[in-house]
Amino acid sequence: MSKEIINISLANPRGFCAGVERAILIVEKTLEKYGAPIYVHHEVVHNKFVIKDLNKKGVIFVDSLKEIPKSSHVIFSAHGVSKSVKKESENLNLISIDATCPLVTKVHREVNKLSDDGYTIIMIGHKGHPEVEGTMGQIEKNSPKNKIYLVENINDVNKLKIPEKNKLSYVSQTTLSIDDTKKIINALKEKYPSIVGPKTDDICYATQNRQEAVKKMLNKHDLIFVIGSKNSSNSNRLLEIVKDKKIDAILLDNMAQFQKKWLNNKKNIGITAGASAPEIIVKKLIKEIKKNKSVSISEIEGIKENIIFKLPKIWNHQNIKFQYRH
C-alpha cells in the first residue's frame, strides 16, 4: 500500500537572523578563548535547542549577576540590558561582553537621544520581555526629568495620562507584529497628534521578512508548523498570523513534542521558523513526516537576506565556524 502524499512548503526567509547568529558566535568564541564556565545574563537567544546545546558546552545562564563569581566573564544576551545591569556588572568586577543585537542597540541609542532632548517616551512592547526591560532601562527609574511608559495594546494607549505640554515620542520592541504595531502607532497619533517616531521602523528586518513570508502561506495550507520556543516573541507573532486566519498552526520547540495525529487528513503543510530557531529542527521535522508519508517539498520564494553583523573587535570573525546554520 502506497503512502499518502503530503505537499510541504518551506517559507523563505525562515530561521536564524543575523543578530541571533552574532550572539551565538560571541558565546562560542568566548568559550573557545576562555574555557568553561562562561556565564550569560538571561538566555542568549530564546530557543531551547540552542540553550540546551550551549549548556552542555559549559555555558551557565543566570537571571541575576549576583549568581556569578567575581572576575568571571559574563555575556549580555541579544535582547540587551538596562544601564543598571551594566553598572552592577562593573560593581561586581565582572568582565562583560555585549551580545546585544545591533538593531536593539539602535533603539537604545534612540531612547537615550530622545531623553537628552527632553522627550517623554512611549514604548510599544510586551511587559516582562528582556528586550523591553533593557530598552526601558535606558531611562533611570524615578528620573525627575524624563519618563518612559509601556503600552502593549490600544487599550493601554487609551489609559495614558500624559500632560499635553510634554514633548512625546515612541519607540517599539523589535520583534512585534507589524500590523498590530501600526494600529497602536495610529492610536498614539490620534491621541497625541504631535507625537514623533523613529525615522526608520524599529521592528527589525528579520521580523518583518518572516511575517511577510508566512503571509504568503496563508490560504494555501491546512496546517502550518512554526518552529520556535514558547518564549520567542517573533515565533509567537508568526503563530498569531496563521491562527488569525483560522488555519491550524502548531508552535514546535523540539521533536519530542511531535504527534503523528497532527498529520491526519492534512494534504498541504507549511513550515516556517522564528528568527531564533535553528534550521536543524526544520530538517528533523521533515524527516519525521517522511516516516509515515510520501512528501513533495517546495521552497516558497522570498526576500534573500545577506545581512551580517560584525562581532566585537576583540574577536577574529574569520576563524569562527557557525554550526547551527544547517
CATH of the domain at 226: 3.40.1010.20
- The verdict on residue 317 lying in a domain is no
Q: Which of 21, 110, 131, 133 is catalytic?
A: 131
Same domain, 38 and 108: no
* Count of CA atoms in the C-beta half-sphere (13 A) of 238: 40
User: CATH code at 44?
Assistant: 3.40.50.11270
Among 100, 130, 162, the domain boundary falls at 100
User: pTM for the complete prediction?
Assistant: 0.92
Q: Measuring CA to CA, which residue among 172, 183, 182, 174 is closest to residue 149? A: 172
Amino acid of residue 206:
A
Q: Residue 296's beta-bridge partner residues?
A: 7
User: Residue with C-alpha cell 530598552?
Assistant: 135
The reply to whether 175 and 241 lie within a common domain is no
State the Cα–Cα distance between residues 252 and 235, nearest whole angstrom.
10
* 161: region left, alpha or beta (phi > 0 left; psi from -120 to 50 alpha): beta
Please indicate, yes or no, whether residues 44 and 68 belong to a single structural domain of this protein: yes
In a domain, 82, yes or no: yes
Would residue 314 count as lying in a domain? no
> What is residue 201's predicted lDDT score, i.e. its pLDDT?
82
Question: Beta strands 223-227 and 168-172: pairing type?
Answer: unpaired
For the chain, how many structural domains are there in total? 3
Report the Cα 228 to chain-centroid distance in Å.
10
Is 293 within a domain? yes
Verify that 140 and 224 share a domain, yes or no: no
Is residue 200 in a domain?
no
Please tell me whether residues 128 and 149 are part of one structural domain. yes
Residues 25 and 65 occupy one common structural domain: yes
Same domain for 96 and 114, yes or no, is: no
Q: Three-state secondary structure along 52-97?
A: HHHHHCCEEEECCHHHCCCCCEEEECCCCCCHHHHHHHHHCCCEEE
For residue 310, is it within any domain? Answer: no
Residues 209 and 261 in one domain: yes
CA separation for the pair 160, 92 (Å, rounded): 38
| Residue 112 placed within a domain | yes
- Regarding whether 92 and 48 lie in a shared domain, the answer is yes
In a domain, 316, yes or no: no
Q: 122 and 141, same structural domain?
A: yes
131 classed as catalytic: yes
pLDDT in tens, the chain (326 residues): 567 789 999 999 999 999 999 999 999 999 999 999 999 999 999 999 999 999 999 999 999 999 999 999 999 999 999 999 999 999 999 999 999 999 999 999 999 999 999 999 999 999 999 999 999 999 987 666 679 999 999 999 999 999 888 999 999 999 999 999 999 999 999 999 999 999 778 899 999 999 999 999 998 899 999 999 999 999 999 999 999 999 999 999 999 999 999 999 999 999 999 999 999 999 999 999 999 889 999 999 999 999 999 988 766 554 444 554 44
Residue 144 sits in the same domain as residue 163: yes
Question: What range defines the domain where residue 249 resides?
Answer: 5-16+205-299
- Rounded-to-integer distance, Cα 99 and Cα 77, Å: 5
**What secondary structure letter does DSSP report for 303?**
P
